[in-house]
Chain A
Amino acid sequence: MNVYGIVQIVIYLVVLTLLTKPVGIYIARVYAGERTGPEAVFGPIERSLYRICRVDPATEMNWRQYGAATLMFSLVCGVSVYLIQRLQYFLPLNPAGLSGPSPDSSFNTAVSFMTNTNWQGYSGETTMSYFTQMTALTVQNFVSAAVGMALAIVFIRGIARFETDRLGNFWADVVRGTLYILLPISLAAAIFFVSQGVIQNFREYDLAQTLDGGIQTIAQGPAASQIAIKQLGTNGGGFFGVNSAHPFENPTPLTDFVQMLLILLIPAGFTYTLGRMVRSQRHGWAVYGAMMVLLIAGIALSYWAESQGNPLFPGSVDQAVAGGNMEGKEVRFGVANSALWATLTTAASNGSVNSMHDSFTPLGGLVPLLNIQLGEVIFGGVGAGMYGMLVMIILTVFIAGLMVGRTPEYLGNKIEAYDIKMAMLYILIFPLSVLGLTAVSVLMPDAGLSSLNNPGAHGLSEVLFAFTSATGNNGSAFAGLNANTAWYNTSLGIAILVGRFYMIIPVLAIAGSLAGKREVPASLGTFPVNTAMFAVLLVSVILIVGALTFFPVLSLSPILEHLQMINGQVM
């Protein structure tokens, strides 16, 4: 760890914090249907969309209708992405003449993009045509993010509203989120990226003569437009296989900084939106504080672990010159920015990478794994992080709320058996999917274990990471695991579906239940949710629920590997 690394990290956190309030206010205004800047340009598009689809944006839905609309919309998205991939050979904008991916790979990619996961079992430049990238994948990057935000907004409305079953109009929320939040910011970011050297073209792949006489194919394509939204929408799916480590995707330290900022921009802003919508700005900051504490802890551990380098290197290799463990890292980013990115991309359910997580030290790799296992609530995905956090808040309020001698209340909502039932359903699904599928995989020598690059503790980390990432809808890969097989494409696809849809149903049910409640007025006897103590409590509950569930398996994977490493048993 050095002062330059720390200064860069501090600058990042300060800028993020400064942007939280303006972004939060903007998001709240968009979903309240208030006038925002881009109205002048996108207003007519919005209105004609409603007209064409025969949607009345003022007609609000109850939670069941909202859920049905969400599922229906996602289904149509998933099917369209699947079909575009399968038919891409016959579709335009395919200069490389790529044929359609296999059915299991197409299924995997379809569910992965429609759920905002962007797990990629394929490598973009050798699999997807420009048409597929733009009309299937990039479109999903927008709308899946808009669906996530809409669900978070519905949850917050559920908290803020009383004695109603109306939670908003799904179509209006998705359209407004896309047109007024995602599109304008992505547009600006894409232009900025192009200025920094990110490519945006429809050219055929370049062929270059290398120094040793070989021929290198240099992939091209409309990258900038997809990269902006992949970060902003916490999608993470790279245009190229190596994602943001690729010089065409992330050419300079400045693009690196802006991309990292885009990852947490909306999730951080949502904490302010929460405070504004529930009329308790201090609660919003308390939630922000809890997320920030966990984020900083992750960054610190990851940066520290990577700075230590590998103790098993011979003394003649001076890792200190490079700043620590540089295996799998880009020289233009270095240890600090790689560790920071790895923490951010897994804290948010982004999943884009600028370095190889598989090459991290065991503890450096534990951070991304644990970030996702804590439930993707450290800011988390756009929208998804907020609703995940709200479920954790409800659990916290319930467990600790009893200790003040009242039926637990959250911002005027009594937390009752139904809410706890739904919250527990939400919490249960994650470990069930991750642990269950990982356990099944390591018991299958052919389908499961043959994909592993490494044996032992590291191999277990690789499988665990894949299912963690898929169920958490993160999409980042530890790599080192060949996941483009029938078993992994299918099982990971199922994990992704479970991680999205089995979770949003309880979320919507809680929102519906909270909205229907009668407001309990706050008094001195009410459990406080706007204090530092509440933030500490929330952090403890997140750590205990997450850590207690995964500690046994983690102790056999990264923790064991770390101990083996420092004891000189494995490299």
Chain B
Amino acid sequence: MKRAISIWDKTIIRQALAGSVKKLDPRTMIKNPVMFIVELGAAFLTVRWLTAVATGAETEPLFGLQITVWLWFTVLFANFAEAMAEGRGKAQADTLRRSKTETTANLIEANGETREIAATDLRKGDVVRVNAGEFIPGDGEVIEGVASVDESAITGESAPVIRESGGDRSAVTGGTRVLSDWIVVRISSDPGETFIDRMIALVEGAARQKTPNEIALHILLVGLTIIFLFAVVTLQPFAIYSGAPQTIFVLISLLVCLIPTTIGGLLSAIGIAGMDRLIQHNVLAMSGRAVEAAGDVNTLLLDKTGTITLGNRQASEFIPLPGVSDAELADAAQLSSLADETPEGRSIVVFAKEKYGLRGRELHEMADMASFISFSAQTRMSGVDLNGRKIRKGSVDAIERYIAEQGGHTPDGLRDVVEKIGRSGGTPLVVADGKTALGVIYLKDVVKGGMRERFQQLRRMGIKTVMITGDNPLTAASIANEAGVDDFLAEATPEEKMALIKREQAEGKLVAMTGDGTNDAPALAQADVGVAMNTGTQAAKEAGNMVDLDSDPTKLIEVVEIGKQLLMTRGALTTFSIANDVAKYFAIIPAMFAASFPVLNTLNIMALSTPRSAILSAVIFNALVIIGLIPLALKGVSYRPMSASSLLKRNLLIYGFGGLITPFVGIKLIDIVISAIGLA
């Protein structure tokens, strides 16, 4: 389920408007030093303007008022960006919270008696019984029973899932509902710390901590702010020396235009929006750090089954033995597989139909004239007795035995064919009619469509893909080759998987993986990005730092892309913000000194109408650019997989060069407008 929310969602905008005023509280603002400086400046000018107007000392009350008001807008716009991002997170959270309805729990006491208590009173380790129709009161592990559970509140998937004690499907989530049967659950978290609670806290931004890159960027921005603060503070002595002292309104305008307000105002919105984008993909991250790490990943460990291949082997070729025609073999293969309900068996029926136009015959049509032998794990073959023919299909060993029982012998050619298939990573099934072997069915793992291209993209991004499989090395190599992964780990055990992760990490690489079973938990914990499947065990979910609600292992690739997009958005807007300053200088500096030194008007390359309007235009542009960039901050810069140098070239052109040019155009346009309506 996509949880996309429109940027223009009215409720969110309305709440964000209120939020941006609430965030003016200096105790909140100080967390963002760049914008705090702007707020201080605005507050100072407000007092200054009021006293000046009251005493009649202000010569240009309209100009001072406009500057002051626009500075307040600058702060409000930045707050609005953050409030918007939080609002979108809250909207996601509310959907989740709806599932957290008031529930009661049937607590099973130590003496075996059941007592009804409020779900909020449950503690870790408590054991509860959940009957059909009841909500599961908290996260936990099924320790007894089997039940079908409706998890749509969490996953958005309406089909119920089976939860049972033992094995890899024992985890249940609080707020989901048992549809049939009953289960006994051991609660695994205290109230307020459940899975949903953590998710809500994260998307609401309450539990948001600054990520390492965000901290580094903050230091850069604070450093730049100090430099510009100093450049502006010392400008007044130079101006006095030159005989052109400046008003405080002009100086603070210059300061606000120079300090990196654009990125400073949007930084936290970018971070929150990054988390939000993950949630839209139905992935929950336990920390912002994990999202950032996803962008840095060097190695992806992908499970073969379900991620790279469709999960089941499928018939891909019929190889008849000498003297048998293709059609004959296909017919026999189809007949013998009618009673084989396994995915492999069904794929043979379908393949024969598609390739040779053999209509799938239905069991019931033939029930009176044929007797079917269905597939079983013991016999490892299936077949049909029809009109005296005894057609069988099964594993090589099983059919060889069958032929021997029938008094025949395996022809020499069969071994060669079987071995060849084995070598190329496929699975051979033999078809026999009585004591005669007819040929071989070639079953192979089918690689999902488009995977090769995705792996190529990943390679271009500098990411290595490693396929993890329980298959033997031969089979694994063949599939790895077909799928185009860079490496594979065959006959993988949890220990070997762990060793592989540690080996990669020792080389300084960051590793991402998916997992669902309890035996995946250590590896999930070791990996830098561990995405647990929601269908997996509680242990796996606890160990990973992300949970995929759709339980789609392929999504790891999207997670990496979202991580990269988050970092790119920050870099792009920082570059944009700094490049903007050039134009602002050309607007403000000549305006400041043109009165005393008319020659400095040469620097007024935008030909702004008056000094007042030049300064005002720069301040207005500086405020409006924050609003203008909110959609970009929330959606993230567009990302297509490509090499770092192509990415850099592209982003540098758009955000570096664009950042240089845009304000020249923007300030000029604003200047035209405000001059036309007589504001300056």
Binding site for B on A (CB under 8 A): 395, 398-407, 412, 415-417, 419-421, 424-425, 427-428, 431-432, 435-436, 438-440, 442-443, 456-457, 460, 518-521, 523-528, 531, 533, 537, 540, 544, 548-553, 555-556, 559-560, 563-564, 567, 569
Picked from A435, A460, A525, the residue with its CB within 8 Å of the CB of B230 is: A435
**Interface segment, one of B120-128, B302-310, B567-575:** B567-575
B side interface size, CB within 8 A: 73
Residues of B647-665 whose CB lies within 8 A of A: 647-649, 651-652, 655-656
A sample of 19 more A-B contacts (CB under 8 A), given A457-B242, A560-B593, is A398-B220, A399-B220, A402-B570, A403-B568, A403-B572, A403-B651, A404-B651, A406-B644, A407-B213, A438-B238, A442-B238, A524-B460, A528-B648, A537-B652, A548-B227, A548-B581, A548-B585, A549-B228, A552-B254
B488 to chain A minimum Cβ distance, whole angstroms, is 19
Encode contact with A along B210-244: 1 for CB under 8 Å, 0 otherwise: 00110111011011101110111111011111100
Contacting residue for A553 out of B234, B460, B651, CB 8 A: B234
Knowing A406-B564, A460-B238, A521-B508, the reply to whether A533 touches B644 (Cβ < 8 A) is no
20 contacts between A and B (CB under 8 A): A401-B571, A402-B572, A404-B571, A404-B648, A405-B563, A405-B647, A406-B296, A407-B296, A416-B212, A420-B219, A428-B223, A519-B508, A526-B462, A540-B656, A544-B581, A548-B231, A555-B589, A560-B599, A563-B600, A569-B599
> CA A291 – CA B509 in complex, angstroms?
33
For the complex, is B329 an interface residue (Cβ under 8 Å from A)? no
A-B contact count (CB 8 A): 200
Q: Are B565 and A524 in contact (CB under 8 A)?
A: no
User: B673: CB under 8 A from chain A?
Assistant: no
Interchain CB contact under 8 A, A403 and B599: no
Across-interface contacts of B597 in A (CB, < 8 A) = 560, 563-564
Which residue of chain B is the closest to A436 with respect to CB atoms? Answer: B234
Q: Is B265 an interface residue (CB 8 A)?
A: no
Contacts of B232 in A (CB 8 A): 552
- Is B507's beta carbon under 8 Å from chain A? yes
Closest residue of A by beta carbon distance from B639 = A405
- A-B interface, 9 closest residue pairs, ranked by CB to CB distance from nearest: A402-B571, A525-B462, A405-B564, A523-B462, A424-B223, A403-B571, A524-B462, A563-B599, A439-B237
B432 within 8 A of A: no
Give chain B residues whose Cβ lies under 8 Å from the Cβ of A404: 568, 571, 644, 647-648, 651
Which single member of A431, A440, A521, A563 contacts B227 (CB below 8 Å)? A431
Interface centre among A425, A456, A540 (most CB of B within 10 A): A540
Which residues of A sit under 8 angstroms from B639, Cβ to Cβ? 405
A556→B593 contact, CB < 8 A: yes
Residues of chain A contacted by B656 (CB below 8 angstroms): 540
With an 8 A cutoff between CB atoms, is B459 at the interface? yes
**Are A402 and B231 in contact, with the CB atoms below 8 A?**
no
Contact with A along B570-586 (1 / 0, CB 8 A): 11101100110110010
- List residues of B whose CB falls within 8 A of some A CB: 212-213, 215-217, 219-220, 222-224, 226-228, 230-235, 237-242, 254, 258, 292, 295-296, 298, 459-464, 507-509, 563-565, 567-568, 570-572, 574-575, 578-579, 581-582, 585, 589, 593, 597, 599-600, 602-603, 639, 643-645, 647-649, 651-652, 655-656
With A and B bound together, what is the CA distance between A398 and B216 in angstroms? Answer: 9
- B239 cross-chain contacts in A, Cβ below 8 A: 556
Residues of A within 8 A of B298 (CB): 520-521, 523, 525
**Residue among A416, A460, A525, A551 facing the most chain B CB atoms (10 A cut-off):** A525
Chain A min CB distance to B561 (Å): 8
- Judging by beta carbons under 8 Å apart, are A549 and B602 in contact? no
Taking a contact as CB atoms under 8 Å apart, the answer to whether A427 and B644 are in contact is no
B217 A424 Cβ-Cβ under 8 A: no
Task: Kindly provide the distance from the CB of A374 to the nearest chain B CB, expressed in whole angstroms.
Answer: 14
* Given A406-B295, A556-B593, A432 contacting B238 (CB threshold 8 A): no
Given A405-B568, A436-B234, A533-B649: A424 in contact with B643 (beta carbons within 8 A):
no
Question: Are the CB atoms of B567 and A407 closer together than 8 Å?
Answer: yes
Query: Looking at the complex, which one of B223, B600, B648 makes contact with A555 (CB distance below 8 Å)?
Result: B600
Find chain B residues with CB under 8 A from A402 CB: 213, 217, 567-568, 570-572, 574
Verify B242–A525 contact, CB threshold 8 A.
no
- Which of B241, B508, B571 is most buried by chain A, counting CB atoms within 10 A of its CB? B241
Taking CB as reference atom, which chain B residue is nearest A421? B219
Q: How distant is A529 from chain B, measured CB to nearest CB, in Å?
A: 10
B485 to chain A, nearest CB (A): 16
Query: Given the known A-B contacts A404-B648, A524-B461, are A417 and B581 also in contact in the complex, defined by CB atoms under 8 Å?
Result: no
Q: Which A residues are in CB contact (< 8 Å) with B223? A: 420, 424-425, 427-428
Q: Taking A415-B216, A457-B242, A537-B652 as contacts, is the C-beta distance between A427 and B227 under 8 angstroms?
A: yes
Which residues of the partner chain B approach A401 to less than 8 Å between Cβ atoms?
571
Does the CB pair B235–A424 fall under 8 Å? no
Query: CB within 8 A of B603: which of A519, A550, A555?
Result: A555
A residues within 8 A CB of B296?
406-407
Checking B568, B582, B655 against A544 with a beta-carbon cut-off of 8 angstroms, the contacting residue is B582
Most buried by A among B215, B223, B228, B578: B223
